[in-house]
Amino acid sequence: MSGKTRDRAERHRNEKPAGAGQSTQRSARQSPYKMRLVIDEIRGKSVNDALAYLAFSKKHAARQIEKTLRSAVANAEHASREHGTPLDVDALYVTRAVVNEGPKLKRFTPAAMGRATPIQKRTSHVEIVVAEKEGR
């Protein structure tokens, strides 16, 4: 790792508050459109409410997002232990929930008259940040 990258990583590491946790899932095999339908429902909610919503959702994207959210909560707990600050897990809420488009898997399917038509299998990058609610 070069010095410039190391400095940037160190700055980024110091920007987060002690009670915040972040998790990213890259290249999830689901289209971003379908993932955004679910992630829009949990943005801004408390972690307990978000997990309850995801547990009872029928959508496949909910399973992927639930794993990422649980990882973000675990990362917040670990960060608070590292800094020696108390953390109330019940006071955590979803501060940032973003789904971006990942790399597309390009495939072909047979078509009429010996031709082939392209298919794009879309992937998603899910990023979730949780933090402790102030003033509780």
What's 97's domain CATH number?
A: 3.90.470.10
Q: What is the pLDDT of residue 84?
A: 87
Q: How far is CA 20 from CA 33, 68, 83, in A?
A: 27, 14, 11
Q: What is the pLDDT of residue 11?
A: 59
Q: What is the pLDDT of residue 8?
A: 64
Give the C-alpha separation, 30 to 79, whole Å: 30
Give the C-alpha separation, 24 to 98, whole Å: 10
Q: Which domain holds residue 119?
A: 3-132
As a dihedral over the C-alpha atoms of residue 88, residue 94, residue 95, residue 98, rounded to 10 degrees, the angle is: 150
Q: What is the pLDDT of residue 57?
A: 95
CA 90 to chain centre: 19
Query: Which residues of the chain have a pLDDT value below 50?
Result: none
List the structure tokens of 57.
């959702």
Q: What is the pLDDT of residue 93?
A: 94
pTM of the entire predicted model: 0.82
Q: What is the pLDDT of residue 65?
A: 95
pLDDT in tens, 12-22: 555 555 568 99
Count of domains forming the chain: 1
User: What ranges in 16-128 are assigned the alpha helix state H?
Assistant: 32-42, 47-55, 60-83
